[in-house]
Amino acid sequence: MNTTKRTEISSLGEFGLIERLTKELSTSNKETIKGAGDDAAILQFNENEEVLVTTDLLMEGIHFDLTYFPLRHLGYKAVVANISDIYAMNGTPKQITVSLALSRKFCIEDVEELYAGMKLACQQYGVDIVGGDTSSSLTGLAISITAIGTAPKGTTVKRNGAKETDLICVTGNLGAAYMGLQLLEREKIATAGKDIQPDFQGKEYILERQLKPEARKEVIEKLREENIKPTSMIDISDGLSSELMHICKQSGVGCRIYEERIPIDYQTAIMAEELNLNVITCALNGGEDFELLFTVPIADHEKVASMKDVRVIGHIASDNMGLALITRDGVEMELKAQGWTPQSEQA
């Protein structure tokens, strides 16, 4: 390790680290259409079709806690997290590879339970498991999945195509997965060392959003059916603010979103109130919703406004206007990205 010049990873954060590592990457193969910097890389091996490739790494103690996360649910979620990136490129997921690092605390039946969840997700979304790897681990469980998908040439959607006056749209609702996580953490503490059951009554929805999320396959299919190609798109894994910042930065634009338009489920709002949290802050920064954030030309307003589970929350503005949330009182607040840092996730 470098001891003469040391920059802590936490000083850059997730997005700064990725940008620093990838800013000087170049491509030398003609099949590489788009490399690092989007939800998936784009490769082209024939003139009619593009291939999408994405990968994700989940670490025990960082991304999941097996105290309350069933292995079957974890397997399902690990697959969904990856194929959501393929949908975010306007593609169709086809295959995955699965690599696992396992400590001695896991037995064969545990791994079979994890795989049962993965196979269930693959059946749900029409995806094949085509390979992978296994290794020993000294620190618990690590799951690395690579997803492969396809899209007809010219139909993939990147993060860099948003233009002024485009409408900003989100699917579903936001903040539910984060509230589910807060509920699980609260009950873990409340029941630790006690012979009592956790209290999840009336909160089944936010628990499911955390433990068994779904990818937005049906929205992608509906967009194709309506002949709508988004100008930019990303999936919401790190929170609305962070993802919107990615789109605006790569597109060279600003944005305005409206607090009153952000979709929030009733159970999410109730849970936030119980925990004395600002529900809008949770919706903006919670992450793991795996909803889609996308922009469309204003001419498509009527079509997207009538789509089930799609909400127009704002519009793209010029770059010099910055990124802002307009509160219910009409006050402009600057949007800031949260994202991952080692210190915050290990705290």
pLDDT beneath 50: ranges in the chain? 340-347
pLDDT of residue 2: 62
Beta strands at 291-296 and 92-102: parallel, antiparallel or unpaired: unpaired
Domain ranges, residue 96:
13-20+29-152
Any domain includes 104: yes
CA distance 287 to 275: 18
| Domain shared by 73 and 181, yes or no | no
pLDDT of residue 344: 37
pLDDT of residue 29: 73
| Domain shared by 176 and 109, yes or no | no
CATH code for the domain in which residue 209 is found: 3.90.650.10
pLDDT of residue 40: 85
**Helix, coil or strand: residue 243:** helix
pTM over 0.85: yes
**Alpha-carbon torsion 268, 270, 274, 276, what sign?**
positive
| Domain shared by 240 and 102, yes or no | no
CA distance 159 to 166: 13
Number of other CB atoms surrounding residue 261 within 10 Å: 13
By the 8 A CB rule, do 323 and 244 touch?
yes
CATH code for the domain in which residue 66 is found: 3.30.1330.10
pLDDT of residue 343: 37
Beta strands at 323-326 and 254-258: parallel, antiparallel or unpaired: parallel
CA distance 327 to 330: 5
Interacting residues of 97 by C-beta distance below 8 A, sequence separation 6+: 129, 130, 131, 132, 145, 146
pLDDT of residue 8: 76
| Domain shared by 317 and 212, yes or no | yes
Total domains in the chain come to 2
Any domain includes 279: yes
pLDDT of residue 341: 45
CA distance 190 to 24: 48
